[in-house]
Amino acid sequence: ILTITPKTQEQVDILRNISSHYEVEVGFSSTSPCSPLFIFRLSINSSCAIRVGAFDNEVCVYFRVLLANANELIEMQTMNSTTDPRSGSTFYERYHSLDDIYHWINKTRQDNPDTVEAILIGSSYEKRPLYALKLSLNNSMNKKAMWIDCGIHAREWIAPAFCLWFVQYALSFYKLNQEITDIMDNMDVYILPVMNPDGYHYTWATNRMWRKNRSVSKSSKCIGVDLNRNFDANWCTEGASHEPCTEIYCGAFPESEPESQAVANFLRSHKDSVQLYLSMHSYSQMLLFPYSCTLDEAENHNDLLEMVQEAAQLIRRHYRNIYKYGSGSKTIYLAPGGSDDWAYNLGIKYSFTFELQDRGRYGFLLPPSHISRACNEALIAVKTIALKVIKKT
């Protein structure tokens, strides 16, 4: 994995161009959509090596190796440590293949028949089921609810790991930890562990750096729509693209993709109970709220700001780790068509996108040994915000 800072428009154009070669993956920095750029090269073959070498000398002066052992890291993350008794990590401290996650969903439901339900909310482009778990730990009537989705972007593996972590935590610490008990007594939780199963499977099988879903476009040979640009919130304006070969392709029309449509349909039919919407991403350590699709402030901006500020302070105090916070458009960049903005406009006034660890050292390749800290940090933020929502409503 190389990092390159283009200095001229010509260099930017060349970098944009090489992203259409399938053996080279160009990722845009999360803080600026244009520069610096991250070049991920996965399959090392000689012709590609020469091209990158030539390109290094001739065009891009500033070129740094960010991770020299990316392939090794990837291999370690896909190793199934259940077969390796030396590793002391638990199930939740490892990354899991899509098949493993489907098994986990089924087992969690079977082991907790009174409190956990698996709801089929739709299916993916390649016809994989989209299961949301419903956790209902206290059977009082007319409870409010929160929604958490993970893995809208395929390569952000820490996100699905968080969804699994959260379920395990809620089930184990209900009645033991005061905060999670208060939350679960007042809210049902809907959790979609892998919102983009086709993309997630593709990151395990073929290309670890894949972001979008896997839908085939009518107009182009390039595959995939950025599901977080496919919602109906200033759809495909600045910060998204109509070009299918880009990483931020918005799709043919809002909710053109079965994955975004499934989530939107579910939330539309549950909008009276769902008061809190959370979407888990990585990386860059940020707690974001609407809007991302416009520079305008949300009507309850100060409320939202106060919530993420307290969450970030607690993370800092407990883990000495820094999370930035603020509205999406002002903290990272304009990014229309996102699920958080759409949910907010639907009426879910507490709507957030979390960018989990790290800040770029490993980026999407966060080693499994970091899962527990990353998830515990995010858990503090979720608990803090959920408790505040309960108080306010």
Among 255, 340, 358, 377, binds ligand ARG (CB under 6 A): 340
Nearer to ligand ARG, 42 or 288 (CB): 288
Residue 33 CA, chain-centre distance (Å), reads 17
Q: How many CB atoms sit inside 10 A of residue 157's CB?
A: 25
Nearer to Zn ion, 6 or 160 (CB): 160
Residue (of 185, 359, 206) closest to 282 by Cα position: 359
Among 180, 264, 280, 288, binds ligand ARG (CB under 6 A): 288
> Smallest distance, Å, CB 83 to ligand ARG?
34
Are the C-beta atoms of residues 201 and 151 closer than 8 Å to each other? no
Per-position DSSP letters for 199-237, written without gaps between them = HHHHHHHT-TT--S--PBPSS-S-B---GGG-SSSSTTS
The binding track of 110-149 with respect to Zn ion, each residue x by CB under 5 A or -, is ----------------------------------------
Say which residue the tokens 């209900």 belong to. 174
For the record, the structure tokens of 251 come out as 């799709």
Among 335, 343, 356, 375, binds ligand ARG (CB under 6 A): 335
Indicate whether 292 belongs to the interface with ligand ARG (CB under 6 A): yes
Indicate whether 358 belongs to the interface with ligand ARG (CB under 6 A): no
Nearer to ligand ARG, 254 or 338 (CB): 338
Region from 28-36, 72-80, 279-287, 290-298 binding Zn ion, contact rule CB under 5 A: 279-287
Nearer to ligand ARG, 29 or 136 (CB): 29
Indicate whether 228 belongs to the interface with ligand ARG (CB under 6 A): yes
Going by their DSSP bridges, the two strands 37-41 and 2-4 should be labelled as antiparallel
Starting from the edge strand earliest in sequence, which strands make up the sheet with 129-135, in order?
A: 116-123, 129-135, 187-192, 144-150, 274-282, 350-356, 286-289, 324-327
The binding track of 257-286 with respect to ligand ARG, each residue x by CB under 6 A or -, is ------------------------x-----
Going by their DSSP bridges, the two strands 24-28 and 37-41 should be labelled as antiparallel
Indicate whether 338 belongs to the interface with ligand ARG (CB under 6 A): yes
> Smallest distance, Å, CB 136 to ligand ARG?
28
Nearer to Zn ion, 128 or 281 (CB): 281
Backbone angles phi, psi at 31, to 5 degrees: -100, -20
Nearer to Zn ion, 255 or 340 (CB): 340
| Residues in region 36-75 near ligand ARG by CB under 6 A | none
Bridge partner residues of 325 (DSSP):
287
Residue (of 275, 268, 267, 270) closest to 351 by Cα position: 275
Backbone angles phi, psi at 25, to 5 degrees: -115, 120
Region from 105-113, 263-271, 338-346, 375-383 binding ligand ARG, contact rule CB under 6 A: 338-346
Catalytic, 355? Answer: yes
Q: How far is 313 from 308, CA to CA, in rounded Å?
A: 8
* Segment (H or E) for 178: helix 178-186
Angle at CA 160, nearest 5°, toward 157 and 163? Answer: 145
> Smallest distance, Å, CB 292 to ligand ARG?
3
> Smallest distance, Å, CB 129 to ligand ARG?
24
Among 94, 96, 208, 281, binds Zn ion (CB under 5 A): 281
Q: How many CB atoms sit inside 10 A of residue 213's CB?
A: 30
Indicate whether 294 belongs to the interface with ligand ARG (CB under 6 A): no
Q: How many CB atoms sit inside 10 A of residue 144's CB?
A: 16
Give the binding-site size for ligand ARG (rule: CB under 6 A).
Answer: 12
Per-position DSSP letters for 325-338, written without gaps between them = EEEHHHHT----S-
Among 96, 128, 153, 208, binds Zn ion (CB under 5 A): 153
> Smallest distance, Å, CB 38 to Zn ion?
14
Nearer to Zn ion, 229 or 281 (CB): 281
Tell me, what amino acid is at 97? S
- Chain contacts with Zn ion (rule: CB under 5 A): 153, 281
- Chain contacts with ligand ARG (rule: CB under 6 A): 30, 228, 281, 288, 292, 328, 332, 335, 338, 340-341, 353
Catalytic residue positions? 355
